[in-house]
Amino acid sequence: MRRCARALAMVVFALVAAMPPAESGADNDTAAGRRIFARGGGRDEVFASFSGTRAALPPAVRRCAGCHGPDGAGGREGGVEIPAITWRALAAPRAPSPGRPARPGYVGATLARALAEGIDPAGRRLAPGMPRYQLTPTQLTALSDYLGVVGTERDLDPGVTADEIRLGAVLPLSGAQAASGQAMRRGLENALAAAGSIYGRRLRLVAADAGDDAAAAFDRLAAGDQVFALLATLLPPDAEGAGEVPVIGPLAPTPAQPLPNRFHLLAPVEDQMRLLVDELAGETPHPLRLAIVGPQGSLADAVADQAARDGAMVVGRITAADLAAVLPPAIEPAPDAVLALPGAALDGLAAQLASRREDLLLAGPAQAVTPGVATDPRLRLVLPVWPTGPGGRDASAATALPPLAAAAAAVLVEGLKRMGGHASRAGLVAALESLRDFPTGAAPPQNFGRGQHIGSRAGVVVRPDRDGGIIVIGSWRAPR
């Protein structure tokens, strides 16, 4: 009888050992385990070094995924065989093979010893390529919990549970911008709620107050693994660390070279300026004579380059917002058009133009003029989004989502649908990269591709009419 009971205990023990140590593991623990596995933990979260040295390895070197693969399946690295470390692989006893001696299956205690001392369950010393880790008991539990799910269907990226996907936005919820930040939060919540449930998961917004430290708020959401992706969010300039979190439609100017997981929806300012040059050249019956007002630099160079492509001539290039400096007698004959770069006080130039009779076009970014004030029909303004109703003051304006945020929500929801039931950030990025001519309402149709994360280079050119309204010239256009 007693022997039977002992045999049964052994079987139970074997079954337990073959299972991930803590199946019931709290969500938070797995998140910490995943962080150590995928990223090597936070900067000072764990200590690891190669055997025989005390030099701390940086996260990028000590991350398990870096050597054993993102799914823990192992592989071959420069002639070195790297074993699989999914719990399934570790728990199974290994038969001997050439270059790899046999060992019993791992249990919690032998895994702890392998990580701390580099000794496997057969008592063999592991090759020096495997670092030594000093982990707290909690970290060890979290890590072995995660080894139980890595590479399986249950290996969900941060912010994803069986019935929910959490999406983040850093918004100005306090301070001078609070009213628009709060309206944006409500708008995003509504847009995500309206998407309903996607593969059984509802979308939930986690908004963080930018306060006076947007970078910290961004870090809390992104590096803190609170969300799956971010949308329509303020983006601190130095928030590059959390590069693996997809960001859709950041509330920031589109850079020439976006970071890998960032998706920008609006044309970079350079393309908008090039488009204006096309418009000015198109409206002039002879080769355009163009004067440029604004800071010297790459943007001014791009404008001059576009002018050359359009067969136009740059007749003046000044930095001060002074119309007299680019008109006769300073420049003879008079230019056909003056283009004001961002930062060139277009409002002031427009006021100077109003008091002159010249037959001249004045062009610049629409954000630089006060709507309703600049009513001169000689103005040409470029926008990266479709202009709102007359004066932009329709009754719903206070509650409506700004075009960029609405477009970000639409793009993200479409990406989540295309991603399918297995929610992974890599899957989302691939899904977004498949969008072609995706309509977004007030933002231009979006086109992404592999490594191509600027959704549109198109803008729209408008001119004021005499009643303070605006007239759209043509439709969405990208520069020639």
Which CB atom, from 70 or from 348, has the smaller least distance to ligand HEC? 70
When the beta carbons of 130 and 383 are compared against ligand HEC, the nearer one is: 130
Q: Closest separation between CB of residue 237 and ligand HEC, Å?
A: 31
Phi, psi of 111 (to 5 degrees): -65, -45
Q: How far is the CB of 295 from ligand HEC (least distance, A)?
A: 47
Q: How far is the CB of 461 from ligand HEC (least distance, A)?
A: 54
The least distance separating ligand HEC from the CB of residue 242, rounded to whole angstroms, comes to 21
Instruction: List interacting residues with ligand HEC (CB under 6 A).
Output: 36, 62, 64, 66-68, 80, 82-83, 85, 90, 103, 111, 114-115, 120, 126-127, 129-131, 133, 143
Judged by CB, which is closer to ligand HEC: 37, or 438? 37
Is 62 or 453 the residue whose CB approaches ligand HEC more closely? Answer: 62
Half-sphere exposure of 92 (CA within 13 A, CB side): 10
Angle between helix axes 137-149 and 27-39 (nearest 10 degrees) is: 90
For the bound state, the minimum distance from the C-beta of residue 201 to ligand HEC, rounded and expressed in Å, comes to 29
Closest distance between ligand HEC and the C-beta of residue 115, in Å?
6
Rounded-to-integer distance, Cα 138 and Cα 49, Å: 20
Nearer to ligand HEC, 130 or 315 (CB): 130
Helix/strand/coil (H, E, C) string of the chain?
Answer: CHHHHHHHHHHHHHHHHHCCCCCCCCHHHHHHHHHHHHHCCCCCCCEEECCCCCCCCCHHHHCHHHHHCCCCCCEEECCEEECCCCHHHHHCCECCECCECCECCCCHHHHHHHHHHCECCCCCECCCCCCEEECCHHHHHHHHHHHHHCCCCCCCCCCEECCEEEEEEEECCCCCCHHHHHHHHHHHHHHHHHCCEECCEEEEEEEEECCCCHHHHHHHHHCCCCCCEEECCCCCCCCCCCCCCCEECCCCCCCCCCCCCEEECCCCHHHHHHHHHHHHHHHCCCCCEEEEECCCCHHHHHHHHHHHHCCCEEEEEECCCCHHHHCCCCCCCCCCEEEECCCCCHHHHHHHHHCCCCCCEEEEEHHHCCCCCCCCCCEEEEECCCCCCHHHCCHHHHCCCCHHHHHHHHHHHHHHHHHCCCCCHHHHHHHHCCCCCEEECCEEEECCECCECECCCCEEEEEECCCCCEEEEEEEECCC
Q: In the complex, what is the shortest distance from the CB of residue 261 to ligand HEC, in angstroms, rounded to a whole number? A: 23
Which of residues 143 and 408 has its CB atom nearest to ligand HEC in the complex? 143
* Pick 128 or 297: Cβ nearer ligand HEC: 128
- Min. distance of Cβ 21 from ligand HEC in angstroms? 13
Q: What angle do CA 108, 114, 116 make, to 5 degrees?
A: 100
Nearer to ligand HEC, 80 or 178 (CB): 80
- Minimum separation from the CB atom of position 280 to ligand HEC (A): 57
Q: Smaller CB distance to ligand HEC: residue 83 or 181?
A: 83
**Distance of closest approach, residue 246 Cβ to ligand HEC, in angstroms:** 25
Closest CB to ligand HEC among residues 46, 235: 46
In whole angstroms, what is the distance from residue 478 CA to residue 480 CA?
Answer: 6
Nearer to ligand HEC, 133 or 263 (CB): 133
- Going by DSSP bridges, is the β-strand pair 459-464/379-383 parallel, antiparallel, or unpaired? antiparallel
Specify the residue, 57 or 411, whose C-beta has the smaller distance to ligand HEC.
57
Minimum CB separation of residue 67 from ligand HEC in Å reads 3
Report the nearest approach of ligand HEC to the CB of residue 108 (Å): 12
Centroid of chain to Cα 408: 11
Beta-bridge partners for 313: 289
